[in-house]
Structure 1
Amino acid sequence: MNAPTSSDSSSDGAVDPTTLTVGVLGGTGNQGQGLALRWARAGIEVIVGSRAAERAENSAKEYCQAAGVDHVRGADNATCASEADVVVAAVPWESHAETLRGLADQLKGKIVVDCVVPIGFDKKGPYPLPVEEGSAAQQAEQLLPESRVTAAFHNVSAVLLADLEQDRVDCDVLVLGDDREATDVVRALADAIPGVRGIYGGRLRNAYQVECLTANLIAINRRYKVHAGIKITDLE
C-alpha cells in the first residue's frame, strides 16, 4: 500500500500503524536505529535502509534479536524507499540532499518523514545551521515535489529510543506538514512508541524552529547529564 485507506484505520478513525511497512533511510545510524527498534517492538514491519545493503541487513538482524521480533529486514536505500509505505529520512545532514534527490522516483506519492537536523558544533557547543530552503524538511519538499513530506522525531532522544530496557520514552513529538492525512499517519507512528505522543505542530514552513530546538536539548543534556525531550501542556 502507498497510502493508508479506510481499511487501515481503527473503529475511531485513527490509523493503525501495524498495517504499514515503514522504511528508515539511515536506519543504521543512532536515530534510525532507535526508531526502527521501537516500531519493530510495536509490531510494525520495518525496512532498514543504508547505502550498503549488507550493512543494513546486518543491522536488521541485530534489531530483530534486540526487539525479539522477526519483521525487520535490511536493504539498500533505493529498495527501502521503493518497498515501504512510509519512509523516514534519518540520514546525516551532509548527505540529506544527495540521498533524497537520488530517491525521488521511488518516493513518489509516499509519505516521507524528515527528522534530519542541520546542526553544527564548536567550542561553544551545538548550534543550528542555516538552510537555504528554510529547513531540512523544506529542502526535502523541494527535492521531492511528488511526495507527501512531513517533519517529525527531531526532539526525541536516540539514546532512550534504543534502550529497550526503558519501557516508555516520556516525550511529545511535534509533527509538521501541509497534508493533514499524512500528518495523522505520522502522529500514529509516534503514538505507537510507548510514552510518546504525536502532536500536530503546524505547517511544514514551521519546521525550522523545531529542528533548531534540538541544539537546545543537546546543550541541556550535556549540562545536566540527561536525555531531555519536550512536553506540550494543556492537551489531554
Structure 2
Amino acid sequence: MTSDVKYRVAVIGGTGPQGKGLGYRFAQGGHTVVLGSRAAEKGEAVAAEVREKLAGAAGAGEVSGASNADAVEQCDVVLLAVPYDGHDELVASLPLAGKTVISCVNPLAFDKRGAHGKIINNGEGSAAESAQELAPEATVVGAFHNVSAVGLWEEPGLLDEDVIVVGDVVEAKEVAMNLAASVTGRVGIDGGKLRLARQLEPFTAVLISINRKYKVHSGLRITGLSPDASH
C-alpha cells in the first residue's frame, strides 16, 4: 500500500467544520475534492474559502462545490461528514452504488454531564453500519471519527495523531488509510472490522471531555507499531 495515490473525494457535509477541515487537508495532500451541500451555491462558497486557504500550497488538488448528489456523481470516494440527525434519510437519497464510502459520523448526545455516545440498534450497530445497510452496493468503512475539526482547519502542520480505519473490505480500508496521510503524514491504522465503529464513534465523547477539561484539541496515538506497520 502506498500513500501517494490520488483520489477524487466527495465530502458530504462539506460545509460543516469537520467536512471543510478534512476537505482542506485532502486537497492539501493533492487529492481532488468536491464539497457537497444541500445547496450547490453554499458548497461552492465554502470551496472558495478552502481554495483561498490553499493559495500557494505546492501540489494542492482542485477544490469545488456542488449539491450532495452531484458531488457523489463526480467522485469514486465519498466521505460522510454529516450530523447523525437526518443521517439515514440523507444516505438513502445518495447515488452511492459502486463507491467507496468513508463514514466519520459520530452519533453523540449532550446533557448536563457532557457528551456521550448514542446507543444505535440496541448496541448492535453504528452510523457506519447503518450507512452500509442503506447503501448495500457501496463499500463503507469508518475513519476520521476522532480528529478535531479545529485542528484540521487551524493547525499549521500535520496533526500529531493516528487515524484508525475499520471496515470489512481491505481495499476500501486502504483508500481511507492512504487519505489519512494528508492529515497526519502517515497512512492510517487498520483497526479491524466495520462493527468496531461501535467503539470508535462514541469514543469521540471521551475526547470532547478531555478537550473541555484541559482546553486542548486532543487526538489518538497508537503505540507499539513498527514504522512500516501500515504498509
| Fold conserved between structures, TM > 0.5 | yes
Match of 1:134 in 2: 125
Q: Distance in 1 between matches of 2:90 and 2:72?
A: 11
Match of 1:225 in 2: 215
Written as runs of structure 1 = structure 2, the 5 A alignment for 1:1-236 is 13-14=1-2, 16-18=4-6, 20-68=7-55, 71-103=62-94, 106-132=95-121, 134-163=125-154, 165-236=155-226
Letter in 2 for 1:48: L
Deviation, structure 1 residue 155 = 0.5
Q: Is the 8 A contact 1:17 1:192 kept in 2?
A: no
Q: Distance in 2 between matches of 1:63 and 1:78?
A: 20
Letter in 2 for 1:113: I
Q: Distance in 2 between matches of 1:149 and 1:72?
A: 23
Q: Is the 8 A contact 1:151 1:176 kept in 2?
A: yes
Q: Is the 8 A contact 2:14 2:37 kept in 1?
A: yes
TM-score of the superposed pair, with normalisation by structure 2:
0.92
Match of 1:3 in 2: none
Q: State the percentage of identical aligned residues.
A: 48
- SS of 1:201's equivalent in the other structure is strand
Q: Is the 8 A contact 1:171 1:195 kept in 2?
A: no
Letter in 2 for 1:220: I
TM-score of the superposed pair, with normalisation by structure 1:
0.90
Q: Distance in 1 between matches of 2:125 and 2:5?
A: 30
What is the RMSD of the two structures over their aligned residues, measured on CA atoms? 1.3
Deviations 1:79-112 (A, max 9, x none): 0111111000001110210110001xx2111100
Q: Distance in 1 between matches of 2:61 and 2:117?
A: 38
User: Unmatched 5+ residue regions in structure 1?
Assistant: 1-12
